[in-house]
Structure 1
Amino acid sequence: MEAAEQLSNPPKQKHKGLKFYQYVIRALLIAIGVTFEAISLEAFLVPNKIIDGGVVGISIMMEHLTGFPLGVFLVIINIPFFIIGYKQMGKTFTITSACGVTLLAFLTSLFTPIPRFTNDLLLAAVFGGIIMGIGVGLVIRNGGSSDGTEILAVLFNQKSPFSVGEIVLFVNIFILGSAGFVFGWNYAMYSLIAYFVAFKMIDITSEGLESSKAVWIISDQHEEIGDALNDRLGRGVTYLNGEGAYTGDNKNVIFTVISRLEEAKVKNIVDSIDKSAFLAISDIHDVKGGRFKKRSIH
C-alpha cells in the first residue's frame, strides 16, 4: 500500500538554484552590458540629441528639458516599473534589474565628461545603436533588464489583445515621435535609425548569430526523408503520428531542428524525394537538451 502511494505521489524534486560562481559571472556580464549602454549614451547618442526607446529615451528628453542629470531620471522613472515587476517577474529579476539601472545611472554620470565620439549624426545613430544593442542584449541574456517598459508591456499584455512585442513597439513609436517635438524631426529620424539598429543587435546578442529553426515534414516517404536528413545533415529526427482533420487519414510527421544555414539544404532534400511533401519551417529562439548537437557526417 505504501509503495503504491509512493508511486502515485512521487516526491517533488527540489529546485536547484544557480551556484555562487554562476551568479558572479552573470553579475559581471550584466555590468559589462550596462557599461556598453552608458558608453553608447554618453559618447554617441546624448551629445548628438539622438534618443533610444523606452525609459532611456524619456530620460534623455527630460534631461534636455530640465537640465537635471540623465541618471536621476533613469532611476526615478524606473522605480514604479520595478515595483510592478516585483509582483509580475519575481524578486530575483527585480533586484537584478534595479541594480543594473542604478549602475547605468552612476556610469552615465561618470562618463558625462567623455567627448562625443563623432559629430556625424548617421555614424552616431548606427554605432551608438550597435553598442547600445550589445549592452542591452548582454543584460537580457543574463536575466536582467535596464528598462521598465518591458515590464509595463507584460502587464498590459494580460489585459489587451496585443502581444508584449507589439505593446513595446507602440510605446517606443510614441517616445521616438515625441523626440521630434523636443529635438526636431531631423533628430527624431536619426533616433529611429538608432532604435532599429539597437533592436537588431539585441536579438543577435541575446539569441546568438546561429539561430535555429524547427522543421515539420508530412510525407508518405517519411523514413527515406528522415534517413537523408540524418545522413546528409547529421541531424537527428523524430517521427510523429498525425491524423488529417478533413480526411481522417493517418499522417507520418517528421520533426527536426536545424540551423538557419541548413534551411536551403533541407528543402532540396525533401524536394528530391517527395515533391508533394508538406514542409513547414519556423524560427525558434532557444534549443536545450536532447541530442541537438550535430553529429559528424564525415
Structure 2
Amino acid sequence: MPAPHPLPKNPPKHTLLEDIQGLTIGLITTAIGLSFIAQLGFLTGQTAGLALVISYMTHMSFSWVFWLINIPFYILAYVRMGKEFTIKSALSVTALSILMAYIPPLMTFQTLNPFFGTIAFGVLTGFGLLGVFRHKSSLGGLGVLALIAQDHFGIRAGLVQIAFDAILFAVAFFLFDAHVVIYSLFGALILNGVIAFNHRRDIYIAN
C-alpha cells in the first residue's frame, strides 16, 4: 500500500476567482438552509440564532438584526485574525443579510415537515459554513470566536459553537415553546456536527 502524500509546507492559496465562487456558493447554501428554519419559526445557534430570537421578539427584519449585531465582532476579528479575514467576514455577513431578505420569500411551503426541515437546515447550513471557512472568512460573531479558539488553542470550531449554543438554547426554553427549542436544538447539533467532523485544516490544506 503506498504511503500517503505528506502535507506541503507551503499550502496553495485560493485565487480571487476561487474565493468569489467558493464564498458565493457557501453563502447561498447557508441562506437556503436558514430559510428552512425561518419558515418553521425555529431557532439556531451562534449569532444567527441570537438574531432570530431578536427578530421573532421584536418583529424586526432578521437581515438588519444579523448585520447590526455583528459589527462589534469585526474589531476582534481584525486584531486576532487579520485584515483579510475581517474584510471577507464583513462582506460575507453583508451578503448573507441581503440574501436573507430575498431568498425566504422565494421558498414558501404549503407543507413543511419540521423534522425534514430541521435536517435540511443543519446539513445545508453546515456545508455552507464549511465553504465560507475554507475561504478564510466567517459569518462574524461567535464564528469568529470559534475560529480563534481553533487556531490558537487547538479546540475544534464546531465544539466551541456547541458550548455557545447550549447557553443560547437554555435561555430560549424560557422564551419559546418547548417543541420549538427541541427541534431547533436538533438542527443546531446537526449543523455543528457537520462542521466538527469536516473542518480539518490538517486535511484541507488550501488557504
Bin the TM-score by the shorter chain.
0.7 to 0.9
- Report the secondary structure of 1:182's partner residue: coil
Q: Note the 1:1-150 alignment, pairs <5 A.
A: 18=13, 22-42=15-35, 44-117=36-109, 118-150=111-143
Calculate the TM-score normalised by the size of structure 1.
0.58
Q: Which structure: greater helix fraction?
A: 2
1:185 to 173, 178, 187: 178
Question: Which protein, 1 or 2, shows the higher relative CO under an 8 Å CA cutoff with sep ≥ 6?
Answer: 2
- Report the secondary structure of 2:70's partner residue: helix
Shift of 1:144: 0.8
2:202 and 2:13 map into 1 onto residues whose CA distance is 22
Which amino acid is the alignment partner of residue 91 of structure 2?
C
Unaligned runs of 5+ in 2: 1-9
Which amino acid is the alignment partner of residue 99 of structure 1?
L
Unaligned runs of 5+ in 1: 1-14, 208-283, 289-298
Which residue of structure 2 aligns with residue 273 of structure 1?
Answer: none
- Report the secondary structure of 1:142's partner residue: coil
2:195 and 2:146 map into 1 onto residues whose CA distance is 17
Shift of 1:287: 6.9
Shift of 1:151: 2.5
Q: Which structure: greater strand fraction?
A: 1
Shift of 1:204: 5.5
Shift of 1:170: 2.2
Q: Contact 1:150–1:164 (CA<8 Å) still a contact in 2?
A: no
Calculate the TM-score normalised by the size of structure 2.
0.81
| 1:61-103 deviation line (CA, Å, top 9, x unaligned) | 1110111111111111111111111001000000011100000
Shift of 1:171: 1.5
In structure 2, relative to structure 1, the CA distance for the partners of 1:66 and 1:206 (3 Å cut) is same
Which residue of structure 2 aligns with residue 224 of structure 1?
Answer: none
In structure 2, relative to structure 1, the CA distance for the partners of 1:17 and 1:90 (3 Å cut) is farther
Size of the alignment, in residue pairs? Answer: 193
- Report the secondary structure of 2:137's partner residue: coil
In percent, how many aligned pairs have the same letter?
A: 24
1:57 and 1:107 map into 2 onto residues whose CA distance is 17
1:113 and 1:24 map into 2 onto residues whose CA distance is 29
Which amino acid is the alignment partner of residue 58 of structure 2?
T
In structure 2, relative to structure 1, the CA distance for the partners of 1:16 and 1:191 (3 Å cut) is closer
In structure 2, relative to structure 1, the CA distance for the partners of 1:62 and 1:101 (3 Å cut) is same
Point out the structure with max Rg over C-alpha. 1
